[in-house]
Amino acid sequence: MKARNNRIANREEKQFFLFISPWLLGFLIFTLYPMGYSIFLVFTDMDMTGSGKFIGFDNIVRAFTQDPLFYRSLLNTLYFVLVSVPASLLLSFLIALLLNQKIKGVGFFRTSFYIPYITSGVAVTLLWGWIFNAQFGFINYFLSLFGITGPNWLSDTKWAMPAIIIMGIWTIGNSIIITLAGLQDIPEALYESAEIDGASSFVKITQITLPLITPTLYFNLVMGIIGGFQIFMQPYILTEGGPSYSTYTYMMHIYNSGFKYNEMGYASTLAWLLFVVIMIITLIVNRTSRHWVYYDN
């Protein structure tokens, strides 16, 4: 019996590795190897052709002491994250509250809010480029109906990044759906008990909904921070980092360093520095979450 059980265990072990081998090979070839090789590139001045030499920590020193665009792109990205992430969390929560109501046709509205998230990013970005057009864009036309002269959204250093933030907030459908799922996981009995005690809608939201939805908000916060620091496509397509580098994000700096200026070693250095920044901020959020995230267990 023991020998039979060993044969079964060995067969199941072989089947396990056989079934996961496609994913495992893909992970090793397309994830682990590129990550390891990029660490090696950090300490070289390698270009796209693969030629270069070992230079030690010169790339890291260059980023902090010789590259003004390093700080400019990082500050622009921080600006985007600090504004867009809280705004996205708030709007996602409020919209999810509305979509959680039991009304006729609510499925249509849930789908409508989710569609922008799955729509082609390039197509959506080009559409918003037309909406923000200073001369014939929809926003400035709408403002003109009230006698307001709209700004040159994508050509003004003061308004270019807010325009990118507005466009980013428009695609929060995934956060809305996740928040909606968290709301529907709250037991109805809690609201019924609160109603019996005479609690108002505001009290139910602040004393029941918000505490129990904090794990979902925490997840959306972390994912929003990670995604926000990787903002690239929208400013690259609409402004190419302009005007005057006001929308020049960190990911654009990595892309330009690697593929425009042919400095793969320095681009890898910038990428790993971004990883460190995201990791530190995520750890801070994780450490502080114990004071505001409520787990019902």
* pLDDT at 1 (0 to 100): 65
% the chain with pLDDT above 90: 69
Tell me the one-letter amino acid at 74.
L
Q: What is the pLDDT of residues 190-246, one digit of tens each?
A: 888 988 888 888 899 999 999 999 999 999 999 999 999 999 999 999 999 989 999
Compute CA distances 153 → 34, 245, 259, whole Å: 38, 14, 28
Confidence of residue 121 (pLDDT cuts 50, 70, 90): confident
pTM of the predicted protein model: 0.91
Q: What is the pLDDT of residues 144-199, one digit of tens each?
A: 999 888 899 999 999 999 999 999 888 899 999 999 999 999 988 988 898 888 88
> Token digits for 89?
């969390």
